[in-house]
Amino acid sequence: MLRLTLLCIALALCAPLPAAAPATTAAPGAASTPAPATLPAPANAPAPCRTAPSDTRPWPAGEIVAGRIDPDTCFAAAPLDAATRSRISGRSYKEGCPVALADLRYLRVLHRDFEGRTLCGEMICHREIADDLLAIFRALYDARYPIARMVLIDDYDADDTRSMEANNSSSFNFRPIAGSRSLSRHALGRAVDINPLFNPCVRTRDGRTTIEPEAARPYADRTRDFPGRLDAGDLCVELFKARGFRWGGDWRSLKDYQHFEK
């Protein structure tokens, strides 16, 4: 009986591991592209391995899955429950948001990190793109495509800069476009940023180049090769475009390499 009990525990629990930054190799004679700061270690709580869609245990976003898990039960979209509404209230969802809470969807997905480990991810988006995102993230997961981190931007108090510096991929956040009064597509839940530290937004105006986040300046040089770089022909870019999303890397007035919108 003891042996059987230990076996069940080994299969059911998902012990988190510390996250590490990816190593990069520069071309001969070039300065190396620095790796991002190490992300905070996941919370020390087991990730539930869902066996049925009716399983309602909390989804442990940001945690590394070390045990068995059925991917077919781990990609889903649902209306925001009371706990999630409370979590985003006053943070990503502020007074004056033009999108009703009922029109937002909470996504739970799996993704690989740059160490090849499987993590539980989460995202809030508009209901009209929820199915698109589930299909894209499932394809990326199956292809072992790396996404460093995917938790709600509310974990960073809805601060876009802090989230980008943590290389956190996210969607909904009621805010204007940086440096503008116009609402971002993120404010409508219709935009997604992927691996933003490695794929910054680059603007050049009056001879001055601005990079957001500033910590991503080493990754603004797109002639260099490094893990996680989004460019034309990249699997992630192609999957989003196939679903009708526009990629910020194609824009002329600026280059927002992390950004996809619909």
pLDDT (average), residues 159-180: 91
Which is more confident, 21 or 221? Answer: 221
- 167 within domain boundaries: yes
pLDDT of residue 179: 65
Whole-structure pTM over 0.85, yes or no?
no
pLDDT (average), residues 190-213: 95
Rg (Cα) of the chain, in Å, rounded? 19
pLDDT (average), residues 192-202: 98
Beta bridge partners of 260: 192, 247
- 75 within domain boundaries: yes
Q: What is the dihedral of CA 131, 114, 37, 91, to 10 degrees?
A: 10
Q: What is the count of structural domains for the chain?
A: 1
Run of H or E residues at 160: helix 160-165
- 3 within domain boundaries: no
Enumerate the H helices of 77-218 as residue ranges.
82-88, 127-142, 160-165
The mean-pLDDT minimum among 35-49, 148-162, 233-247 falls in 35-49
- Give the range of the structural domain holding residue 194, as residue numbers without chain letter: 57-261
- Asked whether the predicted pLDDT for residue 24 surpasses 50, the reply is no
- 231 within domain boundaries: yes
- 33 within domain boundaries: no
Mean pLDDT computed over every residue of the chain: 83
pLDDT of residue 52: 45
The mean-pLDDT minimum among 28-37, 109-118, 173-182 falls in 28-37
- 45 within domain boundaries: no
- 254 within domain boundaries: yes
Spatial distance between the Cα atoms of 47 and 242, rounded to a whole number of angstroms: 32
Residues 6+ apart with CB under 8 A from 9: none
Q: Is the peptide bond before 213 cis (omega within 30 degrees of 0)?
A: yes
Spatial distance between the Cα atoms of 147 and 199, rounded to a whole number of angstroms: 12
- Using the 8-state DSSP alphabet, how is residue 41 labeled? P
- Asked whether the predicted pLDDT for residue 33 surpasses 90, the reply is no
- 50 within domain boundaries: no
Coil, helix or strand at residue 77: strand
pLDDT tens digits, 73-122: 999 999 999 999 999 999 999 999 999 999 999 999 999 999 999 999 99
Residues 6+ apart with CB under 8 A from 181: none
Reported as a pLDDT band with limits 50, 70 and 90, residue 205 is: confident
Spatial distance between the Cα atoms of 114 and 171, rounded to a whole number of angstroms: 20
